[in-house]
Structure formats: structure tokens, C-alpha cells
């Protein structure tokens, strides 16, 4: 059974994951409006992934005998300066999520909540992957910015991303 403080923290993280999904959905819509369907696809896949992460928290809370309490989800921004600025914000956001996950893990370790530690370890590893994939996209902007039409080539590459539901051992 989850301790009340852990339940509250996990519900807050569920909300943070929903906000992440909402943010990336907004970014996807912005890219679609800019006629950059590949970037829109990349962020739509990211939005679906974050929603799946939220559902993992939802399921874990219930499996541990907790009560899911949902709060409001803040409206995300709707416009950005440039495609690169979007991905800079994605990286900053993922770094914030990493810090939230790390705090949850610290608490689980301190509370000796082994089930939550096992559950959260997947998210710790996932955040390493998330930050790395965004850094890789940002690195490609260096080349895209220097080449005429580079942003469109990068857009085509971003369009290749496909959603795969997360696999987590619970």
C-alpha cells in the first residue's frame, strides 16, 4: 500500500506527465501550422508517449491500493520563435521531469518503498533516453541551419518516428 505522501506525490507526477503530453501536443499543432509535418509527427509521438507514462502512474497508484486524484492541467504555450526554440524548450522540460522523477526516487529510497523504487527505476532510465534523443535533434539543427533547405530535410527525418507503447516491468 502507498503511504499518503507517496500517493500524493505520484498523483502530482501523473499530472506532470499529462502536462507534458499537453505541451507536446501544442508543439505538434504549432509545427503543423508551420507546414512542418515531420516535426509535428515527432512531437505527436512524444505526446502519446507522455500520455502512456501518465497511465503507468495511474495504474501503479491503483495497483498499490491508492486513490488517483486528478488536478487541473495548465494550458501550455501555443507559439514559439523557431523550430530550434521548440526543441530547446523540450530539452529544458525533460530536464525538469528528470528532476521530478529523481525526487520521487529519493523519497522511495528513504521510505524503503521497494515496489515504488522498482517502478520508478524504469522512469529514471527513460529520462536518460528522453534527454539524449532531444539533444540528438538539437545537434542536427547545427547542420540544418547551415544548409539551404536543411530544416526541410530534418523535417522529413522527424516524420519517420513511430509511436511504440512503453514496456515496463511492474
pLDDT band at 142 (very low <50, low <70, confident <90, very high): confident
In a domain, 144, yes or no: yes
In a domain, 105, yes or no: yes
138-166 average pLDDT score: 85
List the grid coordinates of 108: 522511495
Query: Residue 91's Cα: distance from chain center in Å?
Result: 10
Confidence check: pLDDT of 168 > 70: no
**In terms of C-beta density within 10 A (0-12 exposed, 13-18 middle, 19 or more buried), how is residue 43 classed?**
buried
pLDDT band at 160 (very low <50, low <70, confident <90, very high): confident
The residues, any chain, with a CB within 8 Å of residue 46's CB and separated by 6 or more, are: 24, 28, 90
Contact 19, 73 (CB under 8 A): yes
pLDDT of residue 169: 57
What's the number of domains the chain is made of?
Answer: 1
In a domain, 109, yes or no: yes
Confidence check: pLDDT of 146 > 80: no
In tens, the pLDDT along 77-92 reads 999 999 999 999 999 9
Query: Residue 103's domain spans which residues?
Result: 4-158
In a domain, 42, yes or no: yes
Q: Indicate which CATH number applies to the domain containing 68.
A: 1.20.1260.10
In a domain, 8, yes or no: yes
Mean of all residue pLDDT scores within the chain: 93
Query: Residue 127's Cα: distance from chain center in Å?
Result: 8
Single pTM value for the model? 0.93
Confidence check: pLDDT of 33 > 50: yes
Contact 47, 90 (CB under 8 A): no
N-term to C-term CA, the chain: 15
In a domain, 169, yes or no: no
In a domain, 95, yes or no: yes
In a domain, 163, yes or no: no
109-124 average pLDDT score: 94
pLDDT band at 70 (very low <50, low <70, confident <90, very high): very high
pLDDT of residue 163: 84
- The dihedral through the CA atoms of 70, 98, 77, 149 has a sign that is negative
Report d(CA 71, CA 11) in Å as an integer.
8
List the grid coordinates of 111: 521510505
pLDDT band at 170 (very low <50, low <70, confident <90, very high): very low
130-144 average pLDDT score: 92
Amino acid at each position: 500500500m502507498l503511504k499518503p505522501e507517496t500517493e500524493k506525490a505520484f498523483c502530482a507526477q501523473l499530472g506532470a506527465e499529462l502536462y507534458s503530453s499537453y505541451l507536446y501536443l501544442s508543439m505538434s499543432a504549432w509545427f503543423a501550422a508551420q507546414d512542418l509535418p515531420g516535426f509535428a509527427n515527432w512531437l505527436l509521438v512524444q505526446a502519446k508517449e507522455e500520455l502512456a507514462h501518465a497511465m503507468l502512474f495511474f495504474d501503479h497508484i491503483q495497483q498499490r491500493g491508492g486513490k488517483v486524484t486528478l488536478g487541473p492541467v495548465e494550458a501550455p504555450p501555443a507559439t514559439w520563435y523557431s523550430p530550434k526554440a521548440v526543441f530547446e524548450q523540450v530539452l529544458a522540460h525533460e530536464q525538469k521531469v528528470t528532476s521530478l522523477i529523481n525526487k520521487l526516487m529519493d523519497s522511495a529510497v528513504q521510505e524503503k518503498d521497494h515496489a515504488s523504487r522498482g517502478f520508478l527505476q524504469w522512469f529514471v532510465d527513460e529520462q536518460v533516453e528522453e534527454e539524449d534523443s532531444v539533444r540528438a535533434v538539437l545537434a542536427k539543427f547545427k547542420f540544418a541551419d547551415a544548409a539551404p533547405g536543411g530544416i526541410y530535410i530534418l523535417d522529413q527525418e522527424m516524420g519517420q518516428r513511430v509511436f511504440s507503447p512503453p514496456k515496463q516491468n511492474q
